[in-house]
Amino acid sequence: MPELVLQLTRAGFLLLLWLFVVAALRIVRSDLFVASGLRASLPMSRRVARAERNRTPRQLVVTAGGLAGTRISLDGRPILIGRADDSTLVLDDDYASTRHARLGFQGGDWFVEDLGSTNGTYLDRAKVTGPTRVPPGVPIRIGKTVIELRS
Amino acid sequence: MADAVPVQDTGAAPGALPPTKRGLELIMLAFATIVVTTALVLVELNQPQGLTRSVLYDGAAYLALFSAAHIAVRYLAPYADPLILPCVALLNGLGLVVIHRLDLADETTAASVGSPPPAGNLPHQIAWTALGLGLFVAVLAGVRDHRQLARYGYTCGLVGLGALALPGLLPAALSEVNGAKIWLRFGPLTIQPGEFAKILIMIFVAAFLVTKRDLFTTAGRSVLGMELPRARDLAPLLMAWGLSLAVLALEKDLGTSLLFFGIVLVLIYVATERASWLVIGLMFFLGGAVMSDLLFRHVHRRVTAWINPFADYDGAGYQMAQSLFGLGTGGVFGTGLGAGRPDLVPEAHTDFITAAIGEELGFVGLAAVLFIYLLVVMRGMRAALTVRDTFGKLLAAGLSFAIGLEVFIVVGGVTKLIPLTGLTAPFLAYGGSSLLANYILVALLLRISHAARAPAGASGPRKPVAPLAEARTEMVQRP
């Protein structure tokens, strides 16, 4: 192969290899903000913007306990919390019951109900006895775990 | 039971389902195919044989194999990470190209001497890749929920230990190749059970730590602002350490022993979030390293070859020195694919494949390859951060850390940062067991990342929940 072609293909292939890396990094960047909840710096999509205006919580955040930092995005389906394997949020917490509590969505609000747990579910300081509306940002205590809804 | 009025599931979702990003995966796979085919064309152009039409078939076969894997992911784990499979595909493809390139070089050498052309390594590696992808699909199909693996924790641990120990206990005729007793020979077929043991033991350690985590967080004495664990809680770590040393002594395998201890240590650290475990582990490691340098001849030989490979250039230091010459020849931009002499390094297609890449693609190319490894590890760690159960977090962290550590040990060895160990670069290097095991590893990682990214409730078949009063009594297994 002529020397010039060799030199050109040599540089070209390295460029191609790095283009792959750059393309991969762009994908990394595109979903960097989705799960972290930092949405402020990104141009909002219309759907997200509307939800923000309605003040509907879009995320469940674990703020204390073994799973602290975990987030679940809310899509209207009920959320089961407990130590059972098929729960949405599987707690690894000695003070939680197998099926401890449930969060359900109705008429634009989220409600929490206790599923007959041993140690009870607390919304802020009050024990949850029946389905109770959960305002965004108010902590729900289950055993050692604290969760809250965020918009 | 007097139940309160249940919260109705209205199904009025405030948002649509999040995107699965499978399209991005397909685009990146196509990109990887372009890169690999270009590499193949360049290799052939730079060889005296010239370009043959087989290049087209090879490219098409590569695309077909990974498209099949992509379709399997689409059906079996639709929310899995879109970057892991294309990165792995690119690494595997580049590995195939470099192995092909070394085969061509061997043919040229044989022709110039006048001996018959040697059997190439490429057909084997292609067969292993196809088999590996088959296994990848099988694992994705078989393990529908990674949490079910936790139930087999102790079984996995036992089988893993057995697989790790088996070659060491068998007679050398059945298990020894090139001085390392890490093989099992079935006629013409040889496998390295240690590669599979790595994954099984990771599952065991993750499951063990989920149930026994409190044991590791019990505070002992506080020294220098660091809480040390109590002496009796050190037993599991000590056992892992002893086992690593046993592997080193019986099987003469530095790499596996290092990898195994590193994985256990990091999993304990991830589970407890306490740096004191890392400090203790590193002290154990240093003690073990110094001890094995003094006790074992095969370790001492590697350390001497590492400190000064040129002292015994024609003997123990030859491979290392050739690798350094190769990397030096490559320089910053490399000699160009197919234009260097990477075949001068012994075992260039397995342990020293990164030296071959460093020679032909230079520092820039090798850095890109390392970056792609980094992407795989990063996406795995991200799955570990976002998945919602502790076992999944530990397992994903362990799996992705294992890839990172293995790459560090291999590239560190080849570039003379640390002594040479005999591990091979995952996906890149020639070797059936390593390829199969790493495809299983990636399948598990994709399974966990699917669970992490899937919207709540979509990650598995939902069981209908009968009202408690009407439900029958049934045996329920603890997870």
Rounded to whole angstroms, the Cα distance separating B259 from B410 reads 11
Residue B465 banded pLDDT, cuts 50, 70, 90 = low
Task: Enter the DSSP assignment of B115.
Answer: P
The pTM for the full model equals 0.77
The predicted structure's pLDDT at residue A116:
84
Residue-wise pLDDT tens digits, A15-69: 999 999 999 999 888 876 655 444 444 444 555 555 545 567 778 888 888 788 7
Q: Looking at the partner chain, which of A19, A76, A107 has a beta carbon nearest the beta carbon of B13?
A: A76
Residues from chain B contacting residue A129 (CB–CB below 8 Å): 4
Residue B403 has pLDDT above 90, yes or no: yes
Residue B12 banded pLDDT, cuts 50, 70, 90 = very low
A124-144 b/e (C-beta count within 10 Å ≥ 16 → b)? eeeebeebbebeeeeebbbbb
Q: Could you tell me if A123 lies within 8 Å of chain B, comparing CB atoms?
A: no
Residue-wise pLDDT tens digits, B373-386: 999 999 999 999 88
The predicted structure's pLDDT at residue A46:
52
* Residue recorded with tokens 């599952």: B203
Window 13-72 of A: residues touching B by CB (8 A cutoff) are 13-14, 16-21, 23-25, 27-28, 31, 34-35, 47, 51, 54, 56, 58, 66-67, 69-72
**Closest Cα in chain B, distance from residue A18 (Å):** 6
Mean per-residue pLDDT, B255-268: 89
Token pair for residue A86? 């098929």
Mean per-residue pLDDT, B95-102: 92
Mutate to test the interface with B, among A33, A54, A105 (most CBs of B within 10 A): A105
Contact B161, B191 (CB under 8 A): no
Residue B370 has pLDDT above 90, yes or no: yes
Residue B69 banded pLDDT, cuts 50, 70, 90 = very high
Residue B7 has pLDDT above 50, yes or no: no
**Strand, coil or helix: what is A2?**
coil
Token pair for residue B182? 């890490």
Percent of chain A with pLDDT over 70: 83
The predicted structure's pLDDT at residue B357:
93
- Shortest CA distance from B476: residue in chain A: A84
The predicted structure's pLDDT at residue B222:
66
ipTM of predicted complex: 0.85
**Closest Cα in chain B, distance from residue A117 (Å):** 12
**Closest Cα in chain B, distance from residue A122 (Å):** 16
CB contact under 8 A, B378 and A28: yes
Helices B432-453 and B353-386 meet at what angle, rounded to 10?
A: 30
CB contact under 8 A, A104 and B388: no
Contact B82, B443 (CB under 8 A): no
Residue-wise pLDDT tens digits, B425-435: 999 999 889 99
A-B contacts (CB, under 8 Å): 168
Mean per-residue pLDDT, B117-122: 81
The predicted structure's pLDDT at residue B476:
65
Rounded to whole angstroms, the Cα distance separating B141 from B163 reads 24
Rounded to whole angstroms, the Cα distance separating B362 from B159 reads 42
Beta strands in chain A (DSSP E): 59-64, 71-73, 79-82, 89-90, 101-106, 109-114, 121-123, 126-127, 132-133, 140-142, 145-150
The predicted structure's pLDDT at residue B73:
93
Residues from chain A contacting residue B6 (CB–CB below 8 Å): 104, 113, 131
Contact B193, B160 (CB under 8 A): no
Contact B401, B266 (CB under 8 A): yes
Q: Looking at the partner chain, which of A25, A89, A102 has a beta carbon nearest the beta carbon of B7?
A: A102
Mean per-residue pLDDT, B117-143: 90
The predicted structure's pLDDT at residue B422:
81
Most confident region among B113-122, B306-315, B369-378 by mean pLDDT: B369-378
Per this entry, what is the length of chain B? Answer: 479
**B152-156, B251-255, B324-328, range with the lowest pLDDT:** B251-255
Residue B351 banded pLDDT, cuts 50, 70, 90 = confident
CB contact under 8 A, A105 and B18: no
Percent of chain A with pLDDT over 90: 9
CB contact under 8 A, A58 and B339: no
Residue B83 has pLDDT above 90, yes or no: yes
Mutate to test the interface with A, among B388, B393, B448, B449 (most CBs of A within 10 A): B388
**Closest Cα in chain A, distance from residue B184 (Å):** 37
The predicted structure's pLDDT at residue B375:
95
- Shortest CA distance from B41: residue in chain A: A9
Residues from chain A contacting residue B336 (CB–CB below 8 Å): 6-7, 9-10, 13
Mean pLDDT computed over every residue of chain B: 84
Residue B226 has pLDDT above 80, yes or no: no
The predicted structure's pLDDT at residue B6:
40
In order of A104, A141, A145, B254, B278, the CA distances from B247 in angstroms are 53, 47, 42, 8, 22
The strand pairing partners of A123, in sequence order, are A126, A140
CB contact under 8 A, B390 and A73: no
Mean per-residue pLDDT, B133-140: 95
In order of B33, B269, B414, the CA distances from B325 in angstroms are 31, 39, 11
Residue B440 has pLDDT above 70, yes or no: yes
Mean per-residue pLDDT, B78-84: 92
Mean per-residue pLDDT, B48-64: 80
- Shortest CA distance from B358: residue in chain A: A14
